[in-house]
Structure 1
Amino acid sequence: MLDRPPTPSSSHDALRRAVEAMGSQSAVARLLGVSQPSVWKWLSKAKALPAEHVLAIEAATGISKHELRPDIYPAADSDKAALHANMAPAL
């Protein structure tokens, strides 16, 4: 089985899950300091979540930045971080 990077539709699904986790498009908009129609536009037109909002959504919902924007947060970055964490010297 091949591990494939998320497609644009899967990052769109991640944003949809984030909205569900927050409770509404309005809640996401308040968190990000944008209008609810902006959130609607990202969802309805499958627009990418703007990069400046990815970390706030990740912090609020636990949905990874890689899932939200795999184009700017590739899986390799999270794999490297996990590898470094596992290689910490034992004291």
Structure 2
Amino acid sequence: MREIDKLLSPLEALQKAVETAGGQTELAKSIDPNQEKLKQQNIWNWLNRDKKTSAKWVVKVSQATGVSCHELRPDIFPEPANDPSNQQDLA
């Protein structure tokens, strides 16, 4: 399988984050325990309307789930330079 075939789309990365957190409500609670600014409905909208994580919440979602910012929003967060898959063979 080629490396490019293994990349997740932003939606798939968000789905992975939701699954890792234990569901939409749990993800929202892990980021905003009192659910004053982030609610389950926001997560649902990202999944079903936007098809990606809100730029405002990417870092918090990443911290809560371990899904990288680059996976969640590659349009905002470039691939890390120290990623081994990004290294060129200089030999």
Gaps of 5+ in 2: 33-37, 84-91
Name the counterpart of 1:16: 15
Name the counterpart of 1:25: 24
Aligned counterparts of 2:76 and 2:64: Cα–Cα separation in 1? 19
Name the counterpart of 2:65: 61
- How far apart are residue 38 of structure 1 and its match? 1.1
State yes or no: 1:35 paired with 2:39.
Answer: yes
- How far apart are residue 27 of structure 1 and its match? 0.9
Aligned counterparts of 2:60 and 2:21: Cα–Cα separation in 1? 12
Question: Aligned residues, how many?
Answer: 76
Aligned counterparts of 2:77 and 2:39: Cα–Cα separation in 1? 25
TM-score normalised per structure 1: 0.70
Q: Deviations over 1:7-58 (max 9, x none)?
A: xx71100000000000010011123331111111111124321112111111
Note if contact 2:46-2:53 (Cα within 8 Å) is conserved in structure 1: yes
Quick one: percent identity of the two aligned structures?
A: 37
Name the one with the larger helix percent: 1
